[in-house]
């Protein structure tokens, strides 16, 4: 006959390891999600700030809504400051401005052998329209 002493101990240890890893994933995912929401808000604000780069000369002369690329980049640079946020791309396309931001965040819990940092990305677009 085979003895079964200690079998429940192995199963209990495995269960606690699983719970620990699950807790790490939940805590890190929640922290990254909250950071992503914050970065989304900053990207939206940056896109709206870039919309202030409207070429007023074109608007008043021809009634066209076009964005000045250099002015949009400058306005985004002024809007996005600090906190390790990088402006990766700014692109104007007629009456639209597209912004892409990145931020490297520290994970709350980093088990041995896992990386303690991750990069989150956010994109936003703002469009100007003439009122009807």
Sorted by where each begins, the domain ranges of the chain are 3-127
pLDDT at 37 over 80: yes
Sheet holding 117-127, edge to edge: 85-93, 96-106, 117-127
130/63: higher pLDDT: 63
Instruction: Find the mean pLDDT for residues 53-68.
Output: 71
State how far the Cα of 47 lies from the Cα of 41, in Å rounded to an integer: 10
Strands (E), 1-132: 85-93, 96-106, 117-127
pLDDT band of 2, cuts 50, 70, 90: low
State how far the Cα of 93 lies from the Cα of 77, in Å rounded to an integer: 18
Instruction: Find the mean pLDDT for residues 60-87.
Output: 81
Round the average pLDDT of the chain to a whole number and report it.
Answer: 84
Instruction: Find the mean pLDDT for residues 36-43.
Output: 93
83: left (phi over 0), alpha (psi -120 to 50) or beta: left
pLDDT at 34 over 70: yes
Instruction: Indicate yes or no: pTM above 0.85.
Output: no
pLDDT band of 9, cuts 50, 70, 90: confident
Compute how many other C-beta atoms are within 10 angstroms of the C-beta atom of residue 104: 12
The 10s digit of each residue's pLDDT in 91-112 is 888 778 899 999 999 888 887 8
Contact 32, 118 (CB under 8 A): yes
């Amino acid at each position: 006959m085979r003895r079964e002493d200690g079998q429940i101990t192995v199963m209990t240890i495995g269960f606690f390891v699983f719970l620990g890893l699950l807790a790490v994933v939940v805590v890190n995912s929640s922290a990254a999600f909250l950071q992503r929401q914050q970065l989304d808000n900053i990207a939206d604000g940056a896109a709206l700030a870039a919309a202030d780069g409207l070429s007023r000369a074109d608007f008043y002369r021809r009634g066209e809504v076009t964005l000045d690329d250099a002015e949009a980049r400058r306005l985004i640079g002024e809007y996005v400051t600090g906190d390790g946020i990088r402006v990766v791309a700014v692109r104007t396309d007629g009456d639209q401005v597209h912004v892409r931001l990145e931020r490297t965040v520290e994970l709350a819990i980093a088990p041995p052998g896992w990386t303690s940092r991750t990069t989150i990305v956010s994109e936003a677009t703002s469009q100007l329209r003439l009122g009807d």
